[in-house]
Structure 1
Amino acid sequence: MTNLNRFELLLHESGGKPFVFDHDDMRTLHFDHQYIQSAMSISAPDKLLLSYTRAMMGFLLFQAAPKHILMVGLGGGSLVKYCYRNFPAARITVLELHAEVIALRDQFMIPADDQRLQVIHADAAAYMQAQQENSADIVMLDGFSADGPASELSTSDFYKACLHCLAPQGVLVSNLWDRPTPAVPAIAQALLGTDWRIWWCRTEDSHNYIAFFVKGNDAGVFRPVVLNRAQKLDQRFDLRLSELVPSFQLVKHFSEEA
């Protein structure tokens, strides 16, 4: 049976639920036939294979020692596993709407819940509204449906709630996928009257837009300072942040299309 035939069979048997597909050393998560939701090397399960996941780790350029990382969207757990292995002092909370995705965590070798890691079956929009101020150092938004970014996670109220829960030196990282325009009005409304800045970049192969919400950061000195940080971080982590920094751009006007 060919790989295509095996995939079509798994797709049919899934009955519309998330499913796992293995090809050589690659294990991928799918919601349908269109997109790969997550990818893992079976022989190196903690490695970040997709460039957009490495780009999201760019929060380290702004906050290198997080104590609490809050993630929205479990998927195949690439970011969860990487943070769990590389930041032993950090507590990690993951919100996932779909129980069917959580049920696949063992196949993606996601560690079991413990004192440092908690995967919660929850509606992130409702959960974030209930969070207290200063409750997270990093918020990572990577919640998707089969068709793209979940609409309930693209509202002004949701972004406000995410920013509200961040500590003073906290960072919000959002995967805006390849169509950031629909989220622009909500983001603009959420940031009215605040001192948040947004730096965004595009990954080299997946074309995802990744946005980093940070406070301060003088645009005039940003690039050389952050490039120096990236070079030091690249000595510790396999993230290739030095390659990413030149693509960073400051969002000055929300009427601009990213």
Structure 2
Amino acid sequence: MTLLGRFEEVLYKSKGKPFVFDHEDMRTLHFDGRFIQSAMSISAPDQLMLSYTRAMMAFLLFHPQPRHVVMIGLGGGSLAKYCYRKLPTTRITVLELESDVIALREKFAIPDDDERFQVIHADAADYLTAMEERADVILHDGYAADGLAPSLSTEDFYQLCHAALDRDGVLVSNLWGDAADLVPMMKRLYAVFDWRLWWCSASGSFNRIVFSVKSLDDAMFRSVLAKRATQHDLRHKLAFCDLVDRLQTACGKSRSDFELIAGADMLGAFMQADYSGIEEE
């Protein structure tokens, strides 16, 4: 049977539920037949296979030693596993709305819950509203089959994230789509976090990663950014130095200039994207 034939068979048997597909050393998570939601090397399950997950880890440039990371969306658990293994003093809370996704955690070698790692079946807005302890980092990757859940990209939801962050906290958003999709979300983030936005396109993909920082001395940040990237690349080898070179910011820009840059940058990302890669969401 051909690769496409095997995939279509697994898709048919899934009966509309999230499913896993294996090909050679690659295991992928799908919500339907269109996109790869998560990817894992079967022989190296903690490796970050998709470029957008590696880019999201650049929160370490903004908050090098987080005590508590909250993740919105479990997927195949790539970021959850990586943070659990590589940040041994960090507590990780993962929020996932779909029980069918949580049911696949063993397929993706997601660790069992323990004193510093927990997967919670919950609506993210409800959980953040009731959360008593602030988070240092929120990783926002709450996708359904049709894209980012609309309720998770409203200004009200971004306000919830802002309130749930500690004083120096950072919200990291994985955005996907064309400029017509992304610019409105960027405007809503700007409305909540003001100029404290930094973003870049993940290498070889249409994913835009936005770092929205609650409170930051920009002059200090820029003076240490390259140094932090070099230090973390020695440990994590996630090409942070390359990411820093591509990082855009709203700092020092008027709102109108910010909106122009936010849209134009996406056009450049589309032109430079590597079409030979797998499509990420």
Q: Same fold (TM over 0.5)?
A: yes
1:122 equivalent to 2:126? Answer no
Q: Percent identity?
A: 56
Please give the secondary structure, in 1, of the residue aligned with 2:131.
Answer: coil
2:36: which partner in 1?
Answer: 36
Contact 2:20 2:27 in 1 (8 A): yes
Give 1:154 shift.
0.4
Deviation string, structure 1 residues 145-182 (Cα, Å, up to 9, x no partner)? 11111101001111111111111121111111234123
Contact 1:223 1:246 in 2 (8 A): no
Deviation string, structure 1 residues 77-121 (Cα, Å, up to 9, x no partner)? 000000000111111000001000000000000000111111001
CA distance in structure 1 between the aligned counterparts of 2:190 and 2:11, rounded to whole angstroms:
39
1:207: which partner in 2?
Answer: 206
Contact 1:69 1:90 in 2 (8 A): yes
2:270: which partner in 1?
Answer: none
CA distance in structure 1 between the aligned counterparts of 2:74 and 2:230, rounded to whole angstroms:
29
CA distance in structure 2 between the aligned counterparts of 1:202 and 1:99, rounded to whole angstroms:
30
Please give the secondary structure, in 2, of the residue aligned with 1:232.
Answer: helix
Deviation string, structure 1 residues 172-223 (Cα, Å, up to 9, x no partner)? 11111234123134324334xx6x600011111112110111222426x654
Contact 1:128 1:158 in 2 (8 A): no
TM-score, normalization by structure 2: 0.86
CA distance in structure 1 between the aligned counterparts of 2:187 and 2:200, rounded to whole angstroms:
19
Give 1:224 shift.
5.2
CA distance in structure 1 between the aligned counterparts of 2:69 and 2:112, rounded to whole angstroms:
17
Residues 1:53 and 1:135: Cα distance change in structure 2 (over 3 Å): same
CA distance in structure 1 between the aligned counterparts of 2:177 and 2:79, rounded to whole angstroms:
19
CA distance in structure 1 between the aligned counterparts of 2:185 and 2:191, rounded to whole angstroms:
10
Please give the secondary structure, in 2, of the residue aligned with 1:235.
Answer: helix
Question: In terms of mean alpha carbon deviation, does 35-44 or 233-242 score higher?
Answer: 233-242
Matches within 5 A, 1:54-69: 54-69=54-69
Indicate the structure with greater helix content.
Answer: 2
- 5+ residue gaps, structure 2, are 264-281
Give 1:135 shift.
1.2
Deviation string, structure 1 residues 38-78 (Cα, Å, up to 9, x no partner)? 00000000000111101000000011111110000000000
1:143 equivalent to 2:145? Answer no
Residue 136 of structure 1 aligns with an amino acid whose one-letter code is A
Contact 2:32 2:145 in 1 (8 A): yes
User: What RMSD in Å do the two structures reach over aligned CA positions?
Assistant: 1.6
1:231 equivalent to 2:230? Answer yes
Residue 237 of structure 1 aligns with an amino acid whose one-letter code is H
CA distance in structure 1 between the aligned counterparts of 2:146 and 2:16, rounded to whole angstroms:
13
Q: How many residues align?
A: 253
Please give the secondary structure, in 1, of the residue aligned with 2:199.
Answer: strand
1:82: which partner in 2?
Answer: 82
Give 1:243 shift.
1.0
CA distance in structure 1 between the aligned counterparts of 2:224 and 2:67, rounded to whole angstroms:
23
1:245: which partner in 2?
Answer: 244
